Amino acid sequence: MPHEETVYEALDHAHGGEGQWAFGTGFDEPLAGVDTTVPDGVDPAELGEYCLMLGDDALVLAQRLTQWITAAPELEEEVAIGNVALDLLGQARLLLARAGSVGVLGRSRSLATESIPDEDALAYFRDPDEFRCTALVSAPNGDFAQTMVRLLVASTVRLAVFARLRESGDPVLSAIAAKGVNELAYHRDHAGRWLLRLGDGTQESHRRAQAGVDAVWPLLAEVFSPTGLEQRLTGIAVDPSSVRDEVRGVLTQVLERATLTVPPWPGDATPRGRLGEHGPELADLLGSLQALAREHPAATW
Amino acid sequence: MRTRTRPEGLYGHYGPAVDPWEVAATVTDPELPMVTLADLGVLRDVRAETDGTVVVEITPTYTGCPAMGVMRADLVHALHRAGFADVDVRTVLSPAWSTDWISEEGRRKLAAGGIAPPGRAPLRAPGPIPLQLGPTRRTADCPLCGSSDTEELSEFGATACKALRRCRTCREPFEHVKEI
């Protein structure tokens, strides 16, 4: 079947010829046609908040990982990091769209023009205190070894949560989780193999891998602490304290095989990130993520 | 996205005498042009509603697949050209796409196009997902010389769905649709 028009004309045509918002061209609503009815007995606002927690973790880690683009140690690794970030960005889009579908739009929705999809308004127009990610994902990358340690830890936690979320009573969350599990298993195992290479490599790579572990470990303190919301969403959300033993088991297994020392496990701390309390590093990161959209809120191409 | 645009009155209002599935099944993947969306198992359903609307269901390969927008546009265009005025392309997230859904025909076309088709996808049972820290266990025959003596260079390639491999016999690198 011959195509007479360019792909850009085709996209514009498919979208009713209204032109595209600059940050959304070709990326139509990720939940198009999906039944987004909220299950009986579930508070939509709480479901939306929970989706922000999961979505923001993915969005912020994706943004951190993209800081390696053009700077990774080898081309194949740069492609790998880009792929991992793209998977996480996809998960973030679905989760932020899910939050938007139940009316959780952030207090900044009015700053974005109406034609901007909800998930983009949530990503580009919320202030740092409206983000619900943990410090585990917002912390700076450090060197490559530390980046791989953080990726290992963050994807191990996320994989354990998503594996349980496959049984969520919200069919949208359970579908997102079932897809995400397949992707996250690749991410975790990729980072795990790097830890084996680095930890059981040269003296210098071992030193850097151990330093990365030591730097990342304290960030685990708030990861397993529920905010209260997760328990109120019984059957919908996953209580993060329920994945602690599994995560510890996996991380210990990788570190021991990598000849690295497992630091003492930090005690549970208040989940500050989930409550919107972040260090300046998140504001810095969001500055680069959001600047263009805020400067040109109605830009089209 | 709900697409309800009407092309320029070429086809009358009785609808064309072709099966909309047959039309949608000709649309190829934007990143793997040798295979159709139907070959890949991305095209899940095509049906004509009583009001004449053609409802198309597609599922993303990977959550972040950036080609979904182009797929939708290509499907809408192909159906418009065949005379279906109202086309509604819907996303289906569940069950999650698996490379096991790629047809035998699709696998042949991939291999003929120089891309090694996937093996069996890992079984995802309920419960924890086991760690895979060893060298990846999968194998793929070289699509160029047919040798089975190949090695994986990276689990991640130029698109989300492909890994990068190298043939130890003919020394050529090649892409492999990785199992998911």
Q: How far apart are CA A260 and CA A216, in angstroms?
A: 13
Q: Which residues of A touch B133 (CB under 8 A)?
A: 189, 192-193, 196, 254, 257
Of B78, B96, B126, which has the smallest distance from its Cβ to A182's Cβ?
Answer: B96
CA dist list (Å): B55 to A3, B43, B66: 21, 11, 22
CA dist list (Å): B2 to A3, A31, A95, A211, B90: 22, 11, 20, 51, 8
Beta bridge partners of B40: none
Q: Is the separation of the CB atoms in A94 and A117 below 8 Å?
A: no
A contact test, residue of B42, B61, B63 with most A CBs within 10 A: B63
Q: Which residues of B touch A254 (CB under 8 A)?
A: 131, 133
CB–CB contact A32 B1 (8 Å): yes
Q: What is the ipTM of this complex?
A: 0.84
A contact test, residue of B68, B93, B100, B178 with most A CBs within 10 A: B93
**Three-class SS state of B100:** helix
Q: Which residues of B touch A55 (CB under 8 A)?
A: none
Min Cα–Cα distance to chain A from B111, Å = 23
Residue A204 scores a pLDDT above 60: yes
Of A17, A32, A163, which has the smallest distance from its Cβ to B128's Cβ?
Answer: A163
pLDDT digits (tens, 9 = 90+) for B27-79: 999 989 999 999 999 999 999 998 989 999 999 998 888 888 889 999 999 99
The distance from CA B175 to its chain's CA centroid, rounded to whole angstroms, is: 15
CB–CB contact B164 A76 (8 Å): yes
Residue A25 scores a pLDDT above 60: no
Q: Is the separation of the CB atoms in A114 and A18 below 8 Å?
A: no
B contact test, residue of A74, A86, A95, A254 with most B CBs within 10 A: A86
Q: Which residues of A touch B57 (CB under 8 A)?
A: 33
A71-75, A271-275, B22-26: the lowest-pLDDT one: A71-75
Q: Which of B80, B89, B87 is nearest to B8 (CA)?
A: B80
Query: What's the pLDDT at A26?
Result: 42
The first and second tokens of residue B141, run together, are: 């025959």
The first and second tokens of residue A50, run together, are: 């929970």
CB–CB contact A28 B72 (8 Å): yes
Query: What's the pLDDT at B11?
Result: 45
pLDDT digits (tens, 9 = 90+) for A120-178: 899 999 999 999 999 999 999 999 999 999 999 999 999 999 999 999 999 999 999 99
Q: How would residue A301 be classed by pLDDT, with cut points 50, 70 and 90?
A: low
CB–CB contact A1 B132 (8 Å): no
The distance from CA A236 to its chain's CA centroid, rounded to whole angstroms, is: 19
Min Cα–Cα distance to chain B from A121, Å = 17
Min Cα–Cα distance to chain B from A163, Å = 7
What φ, ψ does residue B87 adopt, rounded to 5°?
-130, 130
10 Å CB burial of residue A175 (0-12, 13-18, 19+) is: buried
Of A175, A193, A250, which has the smallest distance from its Cβ to B94's Cβ?
Answer: A175
CB–CB contact B26 A186 (8 Å): no
A147-161, A187-201, A247-261, A287-301: the lowest-pLDDT one: A287-301
Residue B4 scores a pLDDT above 50: no
Average pLDDT along chain A = 89
Q: How would residue B10 be classed by pLDDT, with cut points 50, 70 and 90?
A: very low
Domains, chain B, in order of start with CATH, read 20-91 (3.30.300.130), 113-121+137-177 (no CATH)
Q: How would residue B137 be classed by pLDDT, with cut points 50, 70 and 90?
A: low
Q: How far apart are CA B2 and CA B15, in angstroms?
A: 20
Q: How far apart are CA A224 and CA A247, in angstroms?
A: 10
Nearest residue in A to B156, CA atom: A80
Can the peptide bond before residue A117 be classed as cis, meaning omega within 30 degrees of 0? no
Q: Which of B59, B78, B58 is nearest to B18 (CA)?
A: B78
pLDDT digits (tens, 9 = 90+) for A50-79: 999 999 999 999 999 999 999 999 999 999
Of A28, A175, A192, which has the smallest distance from its Cβ to B131's Cβ?
Answer: A192
SS3 string of chain A? Answer: CCCCCCHHHHHHHHCCCCCCECCCCCCCCCCCCCCCCCCCCCCHHHHHHHHHHHHHHHHHHHHHHHCCCCCCCCHHHHHHHHHHHHHHHHHHHHHHHHHHHCCCCCCCHHHCCCCCCHHHHHHHHCCHHHCCCCHHHHCCCCCHHHHHHHHHHHHHHHHHHHHHHCCCCCHHHHHHHHHHHHHHHHHHHHHHHHHHHHHCCCHHHHHHHHHHHHHHHHHHHHCCCCCCHHHHCCCCCCCHHHHHHHHHHHHHHHHHHCCCCCCCCCCCCCCCHHHCCCCHHHHHHHHHHHHHHHHCCCCEC
Q: How far apart are CA B6 and CA A39, in angstroms?
A: 35
Domains, chain A, in order of start with CATH, read 26-295 (1.20.1260.10)
Nearest residue in A to B4, CA atom: A16
Nearest residue in B to A178, CA atom: B96
Q: How far apart are CA A132 and CA B32, in angstroms?
A: 37
pTM: 0.89
Q: Is the dihedral of CA A258, A260, A265, A269 positive or negative?
A: negative
CB–CB contact B26 A1 (8 Å): yes
Query: What's the pLDDT at A28?
Result: 62
Min Cα–Cα distance to chain B from A29, Å = 6
B contact test, residue of A1, A66, A181 with most B CBs within 10 A: A1
Beta bridge partners of B115: B175
